[in-house]
Structure 1
């Protein structure tokens, strides 16, 4: 699976160069997710630095990249919108504490319960989502402040540079693997884009090849225009409400049915939009900043540390904790398969929790593992912890010293890198496997992929897939319950049960017995069976009571210890052969 990424072995040189490549790809992602969360770009960049650095050192998966992610941003934006940014930081801290507790409780091993069809659907859906998310780079602000797709020369140049980036990444490894192909592609295409923009700027026009700086300004202007429209709508509705109340009072004496006529909301004044579009960009870079400081030294208004605050932040912290760990552990599993190694799920939980705790203390928005950037790292040869450390340190250096140069990187280069990630991520073999896979597995795979694409919620997609797979498993195994009937030399009737006894197979189990026609002595042999839940235990107890009511004796052999304990109420009517009972072993935590 994903052989595209098995091109280079790990080394210090590969880790360092791969980390630089990942850092370049992290910049636009962190900025974009910060805008999604409703916070400043620097908060997204600082979050990516803290999350990436700490998980690289403490996490359970060397070579995996973590940072500010869209899945966490979608949760954060609701909190910030409803309660303000001052409630964000204690929420992220609490999320980190919960993740650490989960790691200490050794619950990371639960990721093993994700079936392979769910994994296939997750990977394929993720590839589609990554590809679709790149379409935003093909948009620009129109005259009315709406995002529109590029056209004409800018679109042609964008496509040409994207294809050039993909060609370099594909062809360079065939010639040499001395340097990561993705890094060479980004640097080469950046030089071409800078040359093109320089020649166009000499004519007095703007950039024809959009770069990171253009993306930052476009997002900022789009957010500003959206806020102006929201304020304009709120102002109009407020005025309509006042006029409506006044008109209703005047018309009440004339007619009870009179009501004011309200027209559609007028559009925002184009002159206001144009004023935003014509604003000169700040001389200071949009991603330039100093060293991060604790949030209680940066903000005057802080959330009070009391019970009311806890009631507000706790639900959001739980969601952030679940989303972050599911996405991180799924990424860990994917990187394990690519590198043919094994990460430590419980250690990753502790690493993610520690990273979010520190990130919250320093005014960050939290984060988790980033699948796209992790695959870029693996594809570029990054296998060790040094790659993640390098990426995080480089990201901080960009913010402190190199912001104006990083803004010159064309979006086409980063889009090309991500498109190659999409090609390598999608499990193309699954398309050939469809005819050979059970229909239920195909359904689960398509369901998870479809939910991921439509809802853009990776954690919920995985949970949904696991639930559906469990229901399918239960339904299929409910039909596997049966019994071989024999008689011993004493005339006792022996039911040798086959198949699992649990809630879905209880009805089949009960139908196997004919209490009225059976002899006075009946034996139920569970040597080839296993009782899994309380429903199965209750079915056995009910069966014993029926035989008791008929004046007959029921013997149960090879029954597990927990079943014997719960069936003590049957008294002398239940005879259990302890010496022949098999030993049941429970999986240990050593693999976690």
Structure 2
């Protein structure tokens, strides 16, 4: 039996074996049955210290980051020289930014109403996000601002029927600014830890459900267009905050004029871009605003007397730059609610932003790197922190506006920055004009956006997809509409993980044969497939302990060991053979499996490079005195 002195050197022996160029074919666990508690504790502490040091080396900040910061002035200087030498490119970028703003401002106002906020709050967010993401985002030509995906999450706090309904409206909005600030902090941490790669785990079914749920939530939020204020002395926004809304009467002329304005807006949005020449250069939202204002103040009010509610009738746009305000952390009445909303805003914002980056690179045929995703996460975090400090509603990069900017010719960061700057200019100098736009025009714009957001092919796919995938789309869509987008996407990932685990439960098979080694017969199980937590039960059923010979070899050269459940299953099998007076060896483990057993489990050691020698060593040992199973590994690659 091995002495206690073998235990402290166990990890040293294992490390030496792994790093050697002539990788052994067979190893076993150390015969350490007599090891004392203190010796085991020292060995565990030493191994833990080595892992912590390795992790610290991997997490050491890269010297490239300070160098990138030091090179920022030179980069700005090079950009200035480039645009000075290519004035046509600069002119095109400025025009693309202005066009994106004209498209985005009406949508921002509409999304502000979705979030139950003053439009100024949304315009602040669009201005800040345009500048921050334009300068520091992961991909040039990205357009960012107040988004509907975030707007549909915010009524959890701001709504008069939400969890904070007992608080005054101003206090609910103050809670939202705290949530927006914390969402930015979460996104900064997410970016600093390089966690954006986790979004690769989101299945396509969750993507489709996200889009469908977002479309449904935005559609449901437009019900206030067909509601009226029951208190004539209040603006509609104040009336909504006070809970004094009622549905319009179906027979009222203003109801039909509102519906007609929505329909006219939809027609203009759909067909104006098809007009030759002009349709390519004039944003349809600008045409909608002009037509809506002309219809309302040229026909409805002076001639018919049927008023359709305008932005100014809903709430006044105070034409002023934002001022700095520290979020009211000390006045938070419900921290769990604020933290949950902050987490939802952070997750939904990052999800839509990374989807936006993918859409842009698909158009520009450029690669999407992890560094770009990391930069986007950091830019989103900075944008939301700034919004929290300057009372903006928060935002993210936007798929439709960004792809439109690229299709218009935007390729650089100037277009995004110009979009943010022009938004502030409109807020300062053109707010009286914006106030005259009918809210029904915004609803018409959103209906078109909703139609483009909803993944219509999914309605047909549901009849072709496997039942589990179809159920995933329906689940994510329903949860998005009923709860929020973040919960829906997480549920979609969990559902897909369960489906994958269930489908892989039988993904391990074995072929049994008998080999003769030095005149001794040996039972060999050649495993194929994947040994993971869900397939462990089937693995147990493949072994016939009572009928096998005294020495059993598990050949895992064609089987992938995935997790600790696989390692534990191997140990359990070895114990079963040991209790039956038999010996178990493993061979042909790849580098990943070797790392799992030798570095992330304890008690294993090298036996021999040959099966005959390994069997001889097993014969020399009293197997029943060994606390851990006997195992063997082979064909280590790049260890």
| TM beyond 0.5 | yes
The Cα shift of 1:105 comes to 0.8
Q: C-alpha separation between the residues in 1 aligned to 2:544 and 2:554?
A: 13
Corresponding position: 1:460 with 2:538: no
- Answer yes or no: is the 8 Å Cα contact 1:60–1:348 preserved in 2: yes
Partner of 2:263: 163
Residue 18 of structure 1, aligned match among 95, 100, 103: 100
Q: C-alpha separation between the residues in 1 aligned to 2:514 and 2:474?
A: 49
The C-alpha deviation readout for 1:359-391, integer Å capped at 9, x for no partner, is: 222233433345676677678776654444333
Residue 112 of structure 2, aligned match among 3, 10, 30: 30
The C-alpha deviation readout for 1:144-165, integer Å capped at 9, x for no partner, is: 9433136443233333333333
Moved more, 547-556 or 316-325: 316-325
Q: C-alpha separation between the residues in 1 aligned to 2:426 and 2:113?
A: 13
Q: C-alpha separation between the residues in 2 aligned to 1:510 and 1:183?
A: 65
- Answer yes or no: is the 8 Å Cα contact 2:208–2:473 preserved in 1: yes
Cα distance, 1:433–1:378 mapped onto 2, change above 3 Å: farther
Cα distance, 1:64–1:536 mapped onto 2, change above 3 Å: farther
- Answer yes or no: is the 8 Å Cα contact 1:43–1:365 preserved in 2: yes
Partner of 1:504: 534
SS in 2 for 1:492: strand
Corresponding position: 1:214 with 2:316: no
Partner of 1:293: 323
The Cα shift of 1:444 comes to 0.3
Unaligned runs of 5+ in 2: 1-90, 233-243, 608-617, 619-629
Partner of 2:21: none
Corresponding position: 1:65 with 2:144: yes
Residue 636 of structure 2, aligned match among 574, 578, 581: 581
The Cα shift of 1:480 comes to 1.6
Residue 483 of structure 1, aligned match among 496, 510, 517: 510
SS in 1 for 2:534: coil
The C-alpha deviation readout for 1:190-214, integer Å capped at 9, x for no partner, is: 34543443445446x8652332222
Partner of 1:414: 442
Q: C-alpha separation between the residues in 2 aligned to 1:215 and 1:339?
A: 39
Partner of 2:133: 55
The Cα shift of 1:189 comes to 5.4
Residue 564 of structure 1, aligned match among 597, 614, 617: 597
The Cα shift of 1:180 comes to 5.2
Residue 425 of structure 1, aligned match among 450, 453, 458: 453
Cα distance, 1:315–1:107 mapped onto 2, change above 3 Å: farther
Q: C-alpha separation between the residues in 2 aligned to 1:484 and 1:32?
A: 61
- Answer yes or no: is the 8 Å Cα contact 1:113–1:466 preserved in 2: yes
- Answer yes or no: is the 8 Å Cα contact 1:91–1:313 preserved in 2: no
Cα distance, 1:370–1:504 mapped onto 2, change above 3 Å: same
Partner of 1:137: 225
Residue 46 of structure 1, aligned match among 101, 124, 130: 124
Q: C-alpha separation between the residues in 2 aligned to 1:289 and 1:26?
A: 16
Q: C-alpha separation between the residues in 2 aligned to 1:70 and 1:164?
A: 25
- Answer yes or no: is the 8 Å Cα contact 2:96–2:405 preserved in 1: no
SS in 1 for 2:347: helix
Partner of 1:173: 273
SS in 1 for 2:112: helix
Partner of 1:349: 377
- Answer yes or no: is the 8 Å Cα contact 1:19–1:391 preserved in 2: yes
SS in 2 for 1:554: strand
Residue 392 of structure 1, aligned match among 387, 395, 420: 420
Q: C-alpha separation between the residues in 2 aligned to 1:463 and 1:483?
A: 36
The Cα shift of 1:91 comes to 5.2
Cα distance, 1:162–1:387 mapped onto 2, change above 3 Å: farther
Q: C-alpha separation between the residues in 2 aligned to 1:544 and 1:202?
A: 90
Partner of 1:96: 184
Cα distance, 1:102–1:115 mapped onto 2, change above 3 Å: same
Q: C-alpha separation between the residues in 2 aligned to 1:92 and 1:81?
A: 21
